[in-house]
Amino acid sequence: MPVVPRIVITVADPSIQAEPAIAAWKNDLYVEAITRHGGEPLVLDARSSDDERQAALTTMAGLLLTGGADIDPARYGRPNQGSVNLEPDRDALEAEAYTVAVARGLPILGICRGFQAVNVFRGGTLLQHVEGHVGATWGHGPAKEHALRLVPGSRLARILSPTNPRAGATTVNSYHHQAVRPTDLAPGLVPSAWAASPEGDLVEGFEASEGPFLLGVQCHPERTESTPDSFERLWRFFVDACRGPISAR
């Protein structure tokens, strides 16, 4: 029987969002992505009780940090210069979950806000506003898209294009107004994908230079209507990593 890894998914609290139904729908997309590749989702948000958090964090086999509001710039030692809709309780939840996952050597995947959160938790910073990378909000029109340049031979390139890991580019959706520049990147992270912007090239994919699986992407691969099919391999690879080494199964 295949191992069914228990994967913690940290999400936005729908009850405090401007459109609670759409927020819940967004959360469901992450659950569906993990489930269709054989994982067991353990969903936490800022309302989760201490007991719920403890039960999930002590039994998780991997961590998925998802999209949502901006991270409080105080967490990376900067004044607010364009950050909006801050949710400090969610920041605290995700910092706790990340710390536990790192201490236990578990696989971690960051998506959009989660990509930025991983960078912040590892000591990086953020560009608090970049033009041209956000269009209509999800559920209110087609996604804005842009080219994504993969770093040849990177783990992300090998996952998305296993038969041609030196493939150079794809197209992804773009729902973010904050970003990671090369100068913002945390120690121990290496770029795996780039995108152009008025601020210069942005890091839109990164991975750990060593140690357990840790990968982040700025786009939203759970939104399959605006994501290349190749990103299904990212979900599958992450869930497989959460199953543990083959020898331990």
Using one digit for the tens of pLDDT, what is the confidence trace for 208-236? 989 999 999 999 999 999 999 999 999 99
Q: What is the pLDDT of residue 196?
A: 94
**CATH fold of the domain at 6-248:** Rossmann fold (3.40.50)
Residues 6+ apart with CB under 8 A from 206: 115, 118, 119, 180, 185, 189, 190, 191, 192, 193, 215, 216
Top mean-pLDDT range of 115-119, 134-138, 175-179: 115-119
* Model confidence pLDDT, tens digit, residues 48-65: 999 999 999 999 999 999
Region 145-165 average pLDDT: 90
Task: Write out the catalytic residue numbers.
Answer: 112, 220, 222
Q: Is the CB of residue 196 less than 8 Å from the CB of residue 146? A: yes
Rounded mean pLDDT, 177-202? 96
Predicted structure pTM score: 0.94
For residue 147, give every residue at least 6 positions away whose Cβ sits within 8 Å of its Cβ, in sequence order, or none: 169, 170, 171, 195, 196
pLDDT for 246 beyond 90: no
Can you give the pLDDT at residue 134?
73
- What confidence category does residue 143 fall into, taking pLDDT thresholds of 50, 70 and 90? confident
pLDDT recorded at residue 140: 67
